[in-house]
Amino acid sequence: MKQKLEILRATIQKALAELHSLSQSAETRELVEIGATLWQTTEEAKEVLEPIKKQLREEGLALLKHQPGTQVLMGIDHRCTVIFPNSKLELGKKTDITRLKTLLGDDFKYIFKEVIKIVPRKELEGRLGDLIPDNQQIVLAAVERQENTARVGFKKEQN
């Protein structure tokens, strides 16, 4: 088994090195094909990996007797750490918070913590002009522009 895996890894590394080499002098159309090949291979690798991870997760959980904790599973030259975090309580998505507050009264604040998240409205830039200049400056000093990262996706063209 170990020898087979070493041969497979060497084959994969050789293929990756070849793709890297090809990409160094490739034109855009060729880069698209190289990228798509790598993406497709990654997706296929994920499909192979998921059932392996599921089996290791189940084995780790069994060894932990279904309790939270960490289990290390040993391979030949590698180890796999399986971590089972403590469970946590969350409010159900359909919980009526107003009703819950009414029913619990003062106990609500004893049992629950309210977290308020403040985010700029999507219309902020358009509404800035409606503010007096001093408030415009206050708002501009309080917010930062976060540039998005361009996403790259691949799809097989239908012939």
What does pTM read for this prediction?
0.65
pLDDT tens, N- to C-terminus, the chain (159 residues): 889 999 999 999 999 999 999 999 999 999 999 999 999 999 999 999 999 999 999 999 999 998 889 999 998 888 999 999 988 888 998 999 999 999 999 999 999 999 988 899 999 999 999 999 999 999 999 999 888 776 766 677 776
Given this model, what pLDDT does residue 150 score? 62
- Which helix H or strand E contains 48, and what residues bound it? helix 28-63
Given this model, what pLDDT does residue 42 score? 94
Report the alpha-carbon distance of residue 61 to residue 65 in Å, rounded. 6
Given this model, what pLDDT does residue 87 score? 86
Could you tell me which residues come within 8 angstroms of residue 149 by beta carbon, excluding any fewer than 6 positions away?
none
Nearest CA among 100, 107, 142, 99 for reference residue 121: 142
Tabulate helix, strand, coil % of the chain (nearest 5): 55, 10, 35
Given this model, what pLDDT does residue 9 score? 92
Using alpha carbons only, give the angle 147, 149, 152 rounded to the nearest 5 degrees. 155
Taken in order 135, 136, 138, 139, the sign of the CA dihedral is positive
> Which residues are 70's β-sheet partners?
83
Say which residue the tokens 């080499």 belong to.
Answer: 21
CB 156 within 8 A of CB 33: no
Given this model, what pLDDT does residue 141 score? 93
